[in-house]
Structure 1
């Protein structure tokens, strides 16, 4: 690990000091792989950095790229709140800014640790805010009250809770976040930044914790109101659970709002267990299990437009809003209706998206099963012997059968017969129905 600078001219001024900071230091202390390294330079000016061969790249504050490693080196700086939102800051970056002042502006103590490589090979750790102790205690804690000046830090902390699933949120930090939400700071978050943190959080080790933290501090209803509204619906429960709940109903009315129900997150949990990609996880987050059901097309479109969700994810969520019920009901449909479903899903042109839709449906079906009343032993054994979601392999096989039809000879033969446009299409469709029918008949004979 080297932070060496290019050769520099002799000077009477003290040489700037370079420290590795942030996530790289945290992950090194945790024994995790270090991905990107960030550096802070104390006692330097932009002119000095340029003289050493660094390339300036920062727009809002002085950040430079190292001439050999191309890693980012930022001048030590302080920030002063000057407006609403995460952009409402005035930056001060001068050689007089100390390392401790720079670390004080960071969000969490575990991200406010610095390390310097000494000439004798030893490592010097600078930890003015107790970050190493919080790592040992597995605690997410804010550095200072300045945390409240940037609402994006609510989302960042929630994402770190998803990454470090065994870390708890300090009580005073949770109280601070609740105060930020009540003061209206969360309403000033830019949608693109909300989506950026949401997407990263969905791919963390335990993304369910991200939404639990957002709910507990009150931010979920502000940044993701569509999801907060769906999660307010009651979870399905057995008769005994209903009786137990009715006995304590009067007492529960005086209790604070609970965290998001497990029912609302069961589909996402199934997607995480399956190591599903982001598109499937997003779809499972938006479309909950019964009785939450599938989000409507309007709900899916509204959330995607507000957060500026990428087109690929937006289209998958919208497809499920329109076709999930038909996919669930497709297990015993005939060849013609099966092909019609494939066409409605645009599966012949977009097979990868259709495969992701089936993956998401399987996760949602697993969520429904997890929330259903226990089955008798014999029924449970029979269910264990069948695929978790037989619609998925059945429809994938039907798609493959439909794709196997060589349409060129059919079109050529139809043209020779004087047929045109829709008539040619009808013959191609008939051939595909026949191919799907043959597959379904073979599967039935094999007991699949």
Structure 2
């Protein structure tokens, strides 16, 4: 029985990056031996055990065989006869197919260390093409390590292209897809994730609404980068640079989907793209079963981001409607995330990344002005029910008029 550290822990140590999660593989052992040593079994599909003291996961070395469609379409075989090399060959990338024993000795049968030095994301074997989830995983790794100069090997990109064309991507569950997408969006360079998916044809299968934005022009006066798809990637890049949370990054990715519906005869203008895009945003939200907070913010940003850009020009009544739409009185954080998404949108334009965005502080001030209107005086005046709501609205409108006048002075 031999135990090896495998996968990401080995990869990141060699890259000089902090190691957080450690995966262990056990060679030459049976389920009965693991149980006898006090390991606790978990997972129904293949033998994984929890260490009796550390609680870390230890998996028996195993082989796998394609037996159906999608990520789950595999039959696993684990036995004491399965070698370390046989276990490693079923992994996705060479840089994830290295192992290390308790003396720090490296086992690297598929030249992962060489690919680390060459900054290449390369598949281990042709069996890579049997698992559609690997398309998303490789694109995510590309986003994670782009800052270190990593790129996807051409032959691996070709396999990803074949997978994208095979129909296998459609067998992925919403939960597995969202797990990879959400993790990728939180990497340092999430735009690379989208770009790699597009390069291998996966984007038009998984999120055709985003793929449709590329090649769609916008007015150069407002968008020096012109292309709507390029703009979306730039907005996502700004969200990452400014350390925005997942909700904001998801909203930034989907905010301009309506531009993909504009007839060519109307280019480069996109009249009412905010409202036209809502059904597309809703469809993408539902396709991946995105968490509720991500879904809600994406729809609100899609509908109101141009209001955010025009904040300084909005009439007090329009400003009040905007605040009401976000329920800023009970959910102030959601409005703050909207403001941040609008700012990322404004910065996601070629040459304008550093331009100030005074609309942000103006909107924050408007929300504060509306929130400071007290309910108690109105109750003391006898207002209740729907009349109280109307009175509160009138007082908030007065407060916003005063705020706008003060800001304009």
| In 2, Cα distance between equivalents of 1:163 and 1:194 | 17
How far apart are 1:345 and its partner, in Å? 2.5
TM-aligned CA distance change 1:260 to 1:128, over 3 Å: farther
- Counterpart in 2 of 1:167? 150
Return structure 1 stretches of 4+ with deviation > 6 angstroms: none
The 3 A distance-change label for structure 1 pair 74 and 394 is same
TM-score (normalizing by structure 2): 0.90
Measured after TM superposition, the shift of residue 405 of structure 1 is: 1.8
Correspondence for 1:424 = 388
Query: Which of 82, 88, 92 is matched with 2:67 structurally?
Result: 82
In 1, are the aligned partners of 2:307 and 2:314 still within 8 Å (CA)? no
**Secondary structure, aligned partner of 2:213:** helix
Partner of 2:251: 283
CA distance in 2, matches of 1:167, 1:51: 44
- Residue of structure 2 equivalent to 1:361: 342
Change (3 A) 1:236 1:270: farther
Which residue in the other structure is 1:6 paired with? Answer: none
With over 3 angstroms needed to count, the CA separation of the structure-2 counterparts of 1:299 and 1:430, relative to structure 1, is: same
Q: What secondary structure is seen at the aligned counterpart in 2 of 1:230?
A: coil
Residue from 396, 406, 410 that aligns with 2:378: 410
CA apart distance, 1:224: 1.2
Structure 2 unaligned runs (5+)?
260-267
Q: Which residue of 1 aligns with 2:316?
A: 335
Closer, same or farther: CA 225–273 of 1 in aligned 2, 3 Å: same
Which residue of the partner structure matches residue 230 of structure 1?
213
Aligned length: 392
2:306 corresponds to which residue? 325
> Structure 2 residue aligned with 1:190, among 173, 186, 194?
173
Measured in 2, the distance between the counterparts of 1:328 and 1:115 equals: 53
**1:288–1:364: 8 Å Cα contact kept in structure 2?**
no
1:235 Cα deviation from its structure 2 partner: 5.5
| CA offsets 1:90-142 (integer angstroms, 9 cap, x no match) | 10000000000000000000000000013xxxx21100000000001100000
- Counterparts of 2:291 and 2:41, CA distance in 1: 30
- Kept in 2, the 8 Å contact 1:82–1:90? The answer is yes
Q: Do the aligned partners of 2:214 and 2:230 also contact (CA within 8 Å) in 1?
A: no
* Structure 1 residue aligned with 2:281: 300
Cα pair 2:187 2:240 within 8 Å, conserved: no
Q: What is the CA-CA distance between 1:202 and the residue it aligns to?
A: 0.5
Deviation, 1:232, is: 4.2
Aligned position for 2:110: 129
1:155 to 114, 136, 140: 136
Matched, 1:146 2:127: yes
> How many angstroms apart in 2 are the aligned matches of 1:358 and 1:223?
28
What is residue 255 of structure 1 aligned with on the other side? none
Question: By how many angstroms is 1:325 displaced?
Answer: 2.8
Q: Which runs of 5+ in 1 are unaligned?
A: 1-15, 246-258, 373-382
**Post-superposition shift, 1:70?**
0.7
Cα distance in 2 between the residues matched to 1:442 and 1:132? 63
1:271 corresponding residue in structure 2: 239
* CA–CA distance in structure 2, aligned partners of residues 211 and 277 of structure 1: 18
In structure 2, the partner of 1:98 is 83
Normalised to the residue count of structure 1, the TM-score between the two structures is 0.83
For residue 381 of structure 2, give the secondary structure of its aligned residue in structure 1. helix
Aligned match for 2:365, one of 387, 397, 409: 397
